[in-house]
Structure 1
Amino acid sequence: MSKLLVRKDLQSDLKRNVNDIVKEIEGDDLKVVVFMENTEPPVKVKPKVIKFEPTVTLLRKLAKEGQIEKGVAKIMFYSPSTGRSKGLTPNMMAGFQYIEPGTSTTPHSHNMASIYLVVKGEGYSEIDGEIFKWGQGDIFVVPANAVHSHTNSGKEEAILFDVTDSGLLENMGILEFKEKE
């Protein structure tokens, strides 16, 4: 009978030992990730239920306070058991975005892909310069690295639910966000 090998996370040690060489290789459009054959398997994540009503109450309060963007709020959910990835699972993260009527989010991009479900409201998203109209029940996709923003063009609040692959990218050490200048 074969023995199951226990894998250990050696990324920090590996990167520390080769940091000077990595700096010589990396550039604006090139990053090095040390092969992860020695990473530890993820822990088991428990099933969850996210309660919608208290979530919407929180979103409304955050949007009203406008600490990040006036009239916009975004919250994400994670399981502490995922450790570094900060996802609901080691590979995926989910969250809600709230947009008041007549409000747009700041254009930005990230190397994670996002799949959105429009829970409530109507509006449009500008994705790499193209306009995509959406309404309640619609699903739309924002590809990785696409510059995008979301606008609520309706008369009521817009609530978007999204799932991303940010956990996977975070585990690989390559998750990036950029705001359009």
Structure 2
Amino acid sequence: MQKSNTIKNMYILEILIFLCRKNKKHYCFPTQKKILEILKRRWGVRVSRRTLNRYLGCLEREGLIKRVRRHKKGEDGKIKFGSTLYFVLQRGFRFLSRVGEVFRSIGWVWRRKEKLGMERGVADVQGGERLIDREELSRRMKGLIRDLFGGGGKGRRASPCEAQ
């Protein structure tokens, strides 16, 4: 996967942690449809179910979450699928808390676009009320992720689900 997908992985991880904390458990069991709705509503990200499964698989391979698929055999002999249990592992909590520490240290304040009444831009609170476009935001996020996981080069630690 590409580096820009790491941002979407963080969004999905944040959603899973929110749902776990909301229910005061270390696991949650949202449907994929619900995760997609939250991604669209909260972050404005639209992806297909297949792409969502790629991101979830990536998070699982990196050891940030664990998925337990629930299904059973029905009376008619066919498999009945239930919602998947998502366990957020300690590494997942630590990863997202490190990202939060970086955001706090550079003074970014995230606000919803609807709150500020913006269509195409995102407020740059650190620099006043100037708006930045999505490309600038993406560039800053990639730099943040690069700084968070090391400066680059052969010996650096790879970010979750970076191009493999």
TM-score normalised by length of structure 2: 0.24
The structure with higher relative contact order (CA 8 Å, sep 6+) is: 2
TM-score normalised by length of structure 1: 0.22
The structure in which a higher percent of residues are helix is 2
Larger radius of gyration between Structure 1 and Structure 2: 1
The structure in which a higher percent of residues are strand is 1
